[in-house]
Amino acid sequence: MKDKKQKFETNDDNKIEIERLDKRSNKTVEPDTENKDQAISGVNEIQGNVIKEIEAKLEEALNRISELEDINKDLNERLLRRAAEFENYKRRTENDQLNFIKYAAENFIKKIIPVYNDLQRSLQHTEKSNNGKSLAEGLKLVFDKFSKVLEEQGVKKIETVGKEFDFNLHEALLQQQAPGVEANTVIEEVEPGYIYKDKVLIHAKVIVNTGHADADTSGSEKAEEGK
């Protein structure tokens, strides 16, 4: 009987102990649940802040892209305008160059036309008059006027007779002996030459002294003296 009672009491004690443990277990679980909720809440808050920050940066990037697209569009339009202006300038320049080449002698022709008219009047006057002196004077006036026009344009006649032969200016057609003249000297002009500013337009055609005439003469005189 005593053993049964002790066993019963033991069972009651176990029951009490189990109830106590259950209560402790319930008390222990409740704080863990709260912390978990707080942790989840904190994570959600962090995620929300990160998402907001990403969205803000994305919006900023989109605005920057839109701004750059506007700048790029403006630059493209300006580039197209500049390209069109350059093409127009290039076309005008090419036309100006072609016209310049085509009408390069315009001013010169304007200046020689009066000379041409004077020459025509002189010829007409010659047909009506047989006065040779008047013809010569008229032609002399035309020649002087024409020479002046050429000089104004930078055209000069190359000096020849009495000058030392210069292959840059002269073209030797013949070589002759000329007593009393230094060797390699121009003794006659066959056709005049001209210089335009600093460029030779036409070489003067000349005859040049060989320089042997004096030597041959002096040699023959010495031979006669020896006899």
**What gap in Å lies between CA 101 and CA 30, rounded to an integer?**
105
Give me the pLDDT at residue 45, please.
Answer: 76
pLDDT range class, residue 24, cuts 50, 70, 90: low
204-209: strand order across its sheet: 170-176, 204-209, 186-191
**CA atoms of 142 and 149, how far apart (whole Å):** 11
Q: What is the mean pLDDT of the chain?
A: 78
Phi, psi angle pair for 194, to nearest 5°: -140, 150
For residue 22, the model assigns a pLDDT of 56
Cα separation values, 98 from 91, 94, 102, 153, Å: 11, 6, 6, 22
Calpha distance 97→106 (Å, rounded): 14
| Burial class (CB within 10 angstroms; exposed 0-12, middle 13-18, buried 19+) of 37 | exposed
Whether the predicted pLDDT of 172 surpasses 70: yes
Q: Which among 164, 173, 162 has a CA at the least distance from the CA of 203?
A: 173
Which residues, other chains included, contact 200 with Cβ-Cβ below 8 Å and sequence gap of 6+? 158, 168, 169, 193, 194
Alpha-carbon span 177 to 182, nearest angstrom: 10
Model pLDDT, residue 144: 86
C-beta separation of 184 from 211 below 8 A: yes
pLDDT value at position 217? 41
* Size of the chain in residues: 227
Query: What's the token pair of residue 116?
Result: 């041409």
What per-residue confidence (pLDDT) applies to 221?
42
| Model confidence at 215: pLDDT above 80 | no
Mean pLDDT for the stretch of residues 134-155: 83
Q: What's the gap between Cα 215 and its chain centre?
A: 63
118 band by pLDDT with thresholds 50, 70 and 90? confident
How does residue 71 score in pLDDT terms, banded at 50, 70 and 90? very high
SS3 205: strand
Alpha-carbon distance 163 to 148, whole Å? Answer: 24
Q: Given this model, what pLDDT does residue 145 score?
A: 86
Q: What average pLDDT score do residues 21-34 get?
A: 53
Q: Name the token pair of 195.
A: 């210089």
Average pLDDT over residues 131-152: 81
Per the model's pLDDT, the better-predicted residue between 169 and 52 turns out to be 169
Per-residue pLDDT, 110: 81
Please indicate whether residue 76 or residue 49 has the higher confidence score (pLDDT): 76
pLDDT band for position 36 (50/70/90)? Answer: low
